[in-house]
Amino acid sequence: MAVHILHIDSNHPLLWDQLEQAGFVNHEDFTSSKEEIEAKIQDYQGIVIRSRFKIDQTFLDKATNLQFIARVGAGLESIDCEYAESKNIALIAAPEGNRNAVAEHSLGMILSLFNNLNQADAEIRAGHWNRESNRGQELDGKTVGIIGYGNMGKAFAKKLGGFEVEVLCYDIQENVGDENAKQVSFAELQQKVDVLSLHLPWTPETDKMVNTKFINGFAKSIWIINTSRGKNIVTADLVAALQSGKVLGAGLDVLEYEKLSFETLFQEATTPEAFQYLLNAKNVILTPHIAGWTIESHERLAQVIVDKIKTLYYY
């Protein structure tokens, strides 16, 4: 019996082509609402998504023949994973596909912040040649802390291998440290780091994790890089720390105000005051959730998903 797969987001064409070549039957619907998809989901054994809407219990109850959900991305927070697994639905993600892209983006943000690259570029374009005020600092000699030492954290630590830095990691899993990062307690991380990089999923435990208490627990003033999920940081608390100097600068690829789809920014019509501060801050770099969104990762994510779907059925 043929396995019918519904694609509800566009992806690299190799995903569709290779699944077709492997004998799967592809269907696409990039425009229907969640309710319209629910009305026909019983006809499919597989679904391929990015983040268009949440796969919740209502959706899963209607997906009576669903055998797998494949998300072309790193996290599965848009899926009620526990309920899906209770229905014996396999969950597939592709953190291997964009970990290198995220690592490079994180490193690029640090180097840009340390060397005032965005600020200096803007000033020259405005006709100002300010050398002293754009004097940078070097990454060598610093301690970099990574919270979340999975695919993304490990890839970032590997990139730091070309610098003379101490790399520490903290993770809820034990014994995940390696030759690129020493695993330490959270207390030790807070005592030592100069730069903090977040590589976490968005879970009830990490939601609003980076708040005033969290930030003030660090012994030094720190730089913060977030390429994980926007809701892991309380933006207003981050802004307060930027204003006080407890946070020296921030590189944010993700924002608290993003919609679940990641395709648009605001959940409200008005611009939050904290976000307005970030827009005007010279020591803040903002990018639109593109850390894992390179030309190469677009193809690699699709390939990882194809390989995992094929493995589910053929190996």
The β-bridge partners of 251 are 225, 285
Strand partners, 74: none
CB 285 within 8 A of CB 118: yes
Choosing from 12, 52, 71, 289, which is the catalytic residue?
A: 289
Residue that has been written with the tokens 């629910």 in this structure: 38
Element of type H or E holding 283: none
Q: Which of 229, 256, 258, 300 is catalytic?
A: 229
Does the annotation count 229 as an active-site position? yes
Alpha-carbon distance of 135 to 109, in angstroms, equals 17
Q: Which of 132, 174, 179, 268 is catalytic?
A: 268
Instruction: State the helix-helix crossing angle for 95-114 and 151-159, rounded to 10 degrees.
Output: 40
* Annotation marks residue 289 as catalytic: yes
Instruction: Determine whether 170 is exposed, middle or buried from the number of CB atoms within 10 Å of its CB (0-12, 13-18, 19+).
Output: buried
Q: Are the C-beta atoms of 287 and 254 separated by less than 8 Å?
A: no
Largest CA distance in the chain: 70
| Distance of alpha carbon 91 from alpha carbon 81, whole angstroms | 8
Phi–psi pair at 279, nearest 5 degrees: -60, -30
Instruction: Determine contact, residues 133/283, Cβ cutoff 8 Å.
Output: no
Catalytic residues: 229, 268, 289
